[in-house]
Chains A and B, each alone.
Chain A
Amino acid sequence: MRKHTRTLFVFAVLALCAGSGCARKEPAPQPAAAVDPAALELFGILPEVMESKTNPVTEEKVALGRMLYYEKRLSKSQQISCNSCHMLDNYGVDGQPTSEGHMGKLGDRNSPTVYNAAGHFVQFWDGRAESVEEQAKGPVTNPVEMAMPAETVVIAVLKSMPEYVDAFKKAFPEESEPVTFDNMAKAIGAFERKLVTPSRWDRFLQGDQAALTDEEKAGFNEYISAGCQTCHAGTYVGGNLFQKLGLVKPWPDTSDTGRERVTKSGADRMVFKVPSLRNIDKTAPYYHNGKVATLEEAVSTMAEYQLGRVLTNKQVRAIVAWLRSLTGEIPAAYIQEPRLPKSTAKTPKPDVSE
């Protein structure tokens, strides 16, 4: 009889454990001003240039890329440039849930920031582009974005302006026919590869203990304690893996199934590129559809659906305090809008038809 009582007792304890989760060891947050050095090893400092093996960054490419980035004549209406949705003086975003393209048409996904993006492992929320050079081609011919009817039209626009032809020759001196859609994308990519925003977080990683306040250090400890670094880690605090949205708790809105649309694999249903949290405080609204307005909501929703945890308001505020330290410096001189080449008689006119 006693043996059975003991067995029942053990099961009862285990059942209680299941309820309270005591079987899982959770580290207690460190006191403020003390940050676990092992946790810091999971992060990295921004480089000065996000280099590419296939598109070396040169002065001439950057100069051309900067012009093309601001060039509205790369759009059908001649009203939209890369800068329209990825505003360089606004942390690389337009602050909209989804952006307005040609004749006010809306896209279905939030425009990610261009800053530091070149260092990510893939581009777009569904990772369909391998690099910023690949990405740059997409919006130009997308009917709800810049809506150019064909690559040949883009080339015609560029070739109509001798200053552009010259700039392409300088940027791609080895090529007999340098004005190509590919080279347009390469120049824009090269320009983007220097769009880095070093922050106080980087200085802290380099050893400057004073770069973060005690509140921010406590926030970092809370971030690690919650487990956020499982996905948002590395040099870009994200931007380096795919993950399922609704990892632990199913995501209620399945209208956009993310990467499944690209790979056609059921295993990739609701899988998206994990965004970088650098400058996150300045790049609202949040998530792939831009439906979450505040950082506090983004953090507590992430914890609930990705980690299966309910964070207290205090914990959320602490984490947000640390996230603010990821806001970096915009390279003001580098992003100055240049003088753009003048249109000629050959330059196609704006087309505001649907």
Chain B
Amino acid sequence: MPMPSKTKKYAAWAALAFVLAIQFIRPERTNPPVDPAATFEAVAKPDPQLAAIVRRACRDCHSHDTKWPWYSLIAPVSWLVADDVEQGRAHLNFSRWNLLSPEMSKLRMKEACREVRSKGMPPWQYRLMHPEARIGDEDVATFCDAVDRMP
């Protein structure tokens, strides 16, 4: 039996009200300052090809240099994006590489290689919106080989 048009109207208004209401729950979108001497490039002095892959595929969630897209202003997507960035920075932060010993620097990159090789990173929903972040098989090999050669 088709929905009566009044119910349809209420449902539509309720949905709209809901969507508007959740816009007021704004997650943090901050880019803490970057000390150039503290970055992955400055501290680990990585292979340039590795650094290039990191820059194009990892930076948004794993550094303080996040480029926040227009849809990160709109809930509920904004919550997902902010959460990804928060978690990303917590697990691996290319802007705070000065916190790591040389041993840990290599171990973090070894884990990154594991994630990239298993296609777990970058996450599918990020790759959907950022095609330039895709890491193909050749790039995976370049990435992991460069990590192996880290001191």
A residues touching B (Cβ–Cβ < 8 Å)? Answer: 8, 11, 14-15, 17-18, 23-25, 38, 41-42, 121, 227, 229-230, 233-235, 240-243, 247-248, 267, 271, 306-308
Contact = CB atoms under 8 A, between A and B. Distances in A.
Interface residues of B, number: 32
A234 B104 contact: yes
A14 B84 CA distance: 13
Interface string B95-137: 0100111111001001100100000100101000000000000
B15 A8 contact: yes
A8 B12 CA distance: 10
A14 B76 contact: yes
Interface of B: 15, 19, 22, 32-33, 35, 38, 76-77, 79-80, 83-84, 86-87, 90-92, 96, 99-104, 107, 110-111, 114, 120, 123, 125
A314 B20 CA distance: 41
B101 A241 contact: yes
Nearest to B113: A38
Given A121-B101, A241-B101, A307-B90, 13 more contacts: A11-B77, A14-B76, A15-B22, A23-B84, A23-B123, A24-B84, A24-B87, A25-B123, A121-B104, A230-B92, A240-B104, A241-B104, A243-B99
18 contacts: A11-B19, A14-B76, A14-B77, A15-B22, A15-B76, A17-B80, A23-B80, A24-B123, A25-B120, A229-B111, A230-B91, A234-B103, A234-B107, A241-B101, A242-B100, A243-B99, A247-B90, A307-B90
A17 B123 CA distance: 14
B70 to A, nearest CB: 15
Q: Tell me whether chain A's interface is mostly helix, strand or loop, or mixed.
A: mixed
Given A17-B80, A18-B79, A25-B120, A242 B103 contact: no
